[in-house]
A and B are shown apart, each in its own frame.
Chain A
Amino acid sequence: MHKNKGPILLVEDDEVDVMMVQRAFKKHGIDNPLHVAESGDRALALLRGENGQRVVPILILFDLNMPRMNGITFLKELRADPQLRALPAVALTSSSQPADRETAFEYNVAGYFIKPVSYEQLVELFGNIGRYWQLSEHP
């Protein structure tokens, strides 16, 4: 089966969570280049190539709870940009807010996941997400 090895962009301000994603991918053999942006506006700058480097990811993983620009605002900005609007973006959160979830699906998230508290479950979840998107086609 063909495997998509394009870059993945992680938008996450929590360093521990970033480390977890890195470990989970490593453990599951997901070796796509992983770029990290610690806020929504930094992610947008990276996607638009505003500071020289431009990332065209096969998948964006974004946290909903971030300072400055939260995940929902980031998602809306992404969908409003004709160059970026088609990119698959997965929402991650530590709580199950139905309102956020509804808005997220309104803006076509590529999945909405609650980060498990246990380390093993977290590694398992990110492994599954990574594997699924290696299988998928991207714009």
Chain B
Amino acid sequence: MDNATILLVEDDPNDEELILRTLRSMGLHERATVTRNGREALDYLFHAQRPPRLILLDLKLPKMGGLEVLQALRVDNRTRLTPVVVFTSSIEQTDVMTSYDLGANSYVRKPVDYREFSDALKQIAGYWLNLNMPVPDRHDRH
């Protein structure tokens, strides 16, 4: 299985398109993999040879919600160190609190405006993929 640099967990086709279009403008879309629900995301992650550099996680997902995904990621040795940015339209403060509590590295609200949405994503990708030092590779991570 190929290794994504960035894993999207996103069920909204419009948001997916906008995210991919923005990543394309940054030359990153070929390194992105899309999963459309929580189960699919975990299935991908637990079978990938190497974890992605970044997981972009929506909260409102079918089958298994984003918070449940986060919880599952943080108790598994293959994924517990991987940076997770919650990228969602939820403005509930309990979602923000619970996400950080469960081990999200950052939480960014999806702006409604098209251009702001794209700008926010550019900042997320720049911060986590270009500036941040990646989690060190481990041979014994399984």
Residues of A within 8 A of B (CB): 1, 85-88, 96, 98, 101-102, 105-106, 108-114, 125, 128-129, 131-132, 135-139
Contacts and interface: CB of A to CB of B under 8 A. Distances in A.
Interface of B: 80-81, 83, 96-97, 100-101, 103-109, 111, 113, 116, 119-120, 123-124, 126-128, 131-133, 135-136, 138
B83 A136 contact: no
Contact of B106 (A96, A131, A136): A136
Contacts, number: 75
Contacts of A86: 97, 100-101
A136 B133 contact: no
Nearest to A98: B136
Nearest to B95: A137
A108 B105 contact: yes
A45 B12 CA distance: 44
> A-B pairs with the 4 shortest C-beta distances?
A86-B100, A98-B136, A105-B81, A137-B107
A1 B122 CA distance: 14
B100 A132 contact: no
**Quick one: which of A96, A102, A110, A125 has the most chain B CB within 10 A?**
A110
Contacts of A87: 100
Given A85-B101, A98-B136, A137-B96, A106 B108 contact: no
Contact of A135 (B80, B104, B123): B123
B123 A131 contact: yes
- For A85, A114, A135, A138, the residue with the greatest tally of chain B CB atoms inside 10 Å of its CB is A135
Contacts of A109: 105
B135 A139 contact: no
Most chain B CB within a 10 A radius of its CB, from A109, A111, A136? A136
Contacts of B109: 137
Contact of B133 (A1, A101, A139): A101
